[in-house]
Amino acid sequence: MKLSDIEQSMLQGDQGAAIGRAMDLLVRYGEALGAECLVETRNVCGTVGATTPFMRDFAQARGGMDAVFSEFNLDSDQVVNIPPVRAFSSHLQLGFDPEQPVRMGVNEETIRFYKTGERFTAGLGVQLLNTCTPYQVGNVPTRGEHCAWMESSAVIYCNSVLGARTNTEGRESTGAAMLTERIPYWGYHLPANRLGTHLVELDIAIEGTSEWGLLGYFIGDQVKDQIPVLSPQQSLARVPGLTQLKHFGASASSSGGVEMYHIVGITPEAQSLEMAFGQRRPTEVIHYGARERRATYERLNANGNSRDVDYVMLGCPHYNIEQLWELARMIEGRKVHTNCELWVFTPRAIKTLADQNGYTRIIEAAGGIMMSDSCSAMSRAVPEGTQVVALDSAKQAHYLPAILGVQAWFGTTQDCVNAACTGRWEGGLA
């Protein structure tokens, strides 16, 4: 790989051992990918810190959080002192909400260790966003900006809606990027790799967040890791907002592995079909109509059997303030059924806003629990004895049955609120 003089000096360790280890990792990683060079990045989203007993033991045996960062963020056997980060860096989510240890089945010792990790992370200059949706709490890169982000639902939003450029990075590559402001120049950093591959014709109108989730789930399954181009023509009842595109991307990246899409006339690199495909012709034209919609809905609900719901989880990807406002209006004056629990996940910053606006009070008065930092799929935490879950997220409905062996129902947020308040699933396709 071709390195600039400054990158070469980083690699040689002239700027400290940690920078040397970071650059060594990026060179190994880039060469394995066939990247010809590195690209500068000033926006990195990864995970720093630790939650597991294994990491706690590792830290105690090897020399604290520097050892954790060396091993798990730099892939370095050698423990090096970690300096403050150079790139603007954000910490995403980890495995539990430290404010809810009992509900999440986490003991006090683990919480203490987690907080040590948080202090270390903040001390490096990493922003504690604690969410899978950094773009909802102020990290909004501009079009063309080179980023190094983890988390599939964030990556697809970054590439498609914002027009910034990132591959789906890992904990190690983002750790190295934080220290060096570099990431291998390959994949979605290259303009030619951002052109559409498949044309999707919408034969029915798409309106509402759950419909965007269904559509994303269908498309991801069809195109796998390629780049779909939606040609909506007259089929959009209204322009999708942040919430709809967040759910659309999260679904497409879970059923398929899509990291980028275009919607003609809406997303920034697709002002026209010609712009979305460049000189290419679509490899396939896919239609989405009433039949495909129903089949996707049935597939997502295939393992729902009992209609007695124990648990309703909202907030995958993490809810934004608009969704909490809507939820508060839906649930105000109602009560969560005694046989059911409602957990709502949102970023810490948005939880603060919800506290100020009174939404937390309304949701908690109804019997719901507001949580942050994680989710049930990530934490593997659900209320004790849960067998049947209701979800308004296709992504969570995709993962939770596989991770925890529970039955899952997928539907609208209103379906889920009704299930929480009655203990029964009555959702269905309109």
Lookup result for tokens 């990431």: 183
Provide the 3-class DSSP secondary structure of residue 419: helix
From 5-13, 64-72, 75-83, 311-319, give the range in contact with ligand F3S by CB under 6 A.
311-319
Choose between 25 and 50: whose C-beta lies nearer to ligand F3S.
50
CB of 96 to ligand F3S, least distance (A): 12
Q: Which residues pair with 315 in a beta bridge?
A: none
Task: State which of residues 317, 347, 411, 423 lies at the interface with ligand F3S (CB under 6 A).
Answer: 317
396 in contact with ligand F3S (CB under 6 A): yes
**Cα 59 to Cα 12, 128, 134, 156, 191, distances in angstroms:** 27, 21, 28, 34, 42
**Cα 53 to Cα 56, 64, 120, distances in angstroms:** 5, 13, 17
378 in contact with ligand F3S (CB under 6 A): yes
159 in contact with ligand F3S (CB under 6 A): no
132 in contact with ligand F3S (CB under 6 A): yes
From 192-200, 232-240, 281-289, 315-323, give the range in contact with ligand F3S by CB under 6 A.
315-323
Rounded CA gap, 409 and 74, in Å?
40
CB of 316 to ligand F3S, least distance (A): 3
**Cα 406 to Cα 44, 339, 354, 380, 388, distances in angstroms:** 35, 16, 30, 11, 6
Show contacts with ligand F3S in window 237-266 (CB under 6 A).
250
Choose between 137 and 250: whose C-beta lies nearer to ligand F3S.
250
Return the structure tokens found at 221: 């399954």
Nearest CA-CA partner of 313 in 231, 411, 226: 411
CB of 253 to ligand F3S, least distance (A): 9
Nearest CA-CA partner of 392 in 216, 247, 215, 292: 247
* Residues 94, 368, 119: CA angle, nearest 5 degrees: 30
Of the CA atoms within 13 Å of residue 423, those in its CB half-sphere come to 8
Task: State which of residues 129, 178, 340, 375 lies at the interface with ligand F3S (CB under 6 A).
Answer: 375
Return the structure tokens found at 133: 């949706």
Task: State which of residues 19, 94, 178, 316 lies at the interface with ligand F3S (CB under 6 A).
Answer: 316
Choose between 226 and 251: whose C-beta lies nearer to ligand F3S.
251
From 30-38, 110-118, 281-289, 372-380, give the range in contact with ligand F3S by CB under 6 A.
372-380
Contacting positions for ligand F3S (CB under 6 A) = 93, 132, 153, 250, 316-318, 345, 375, 377-378, 395-396
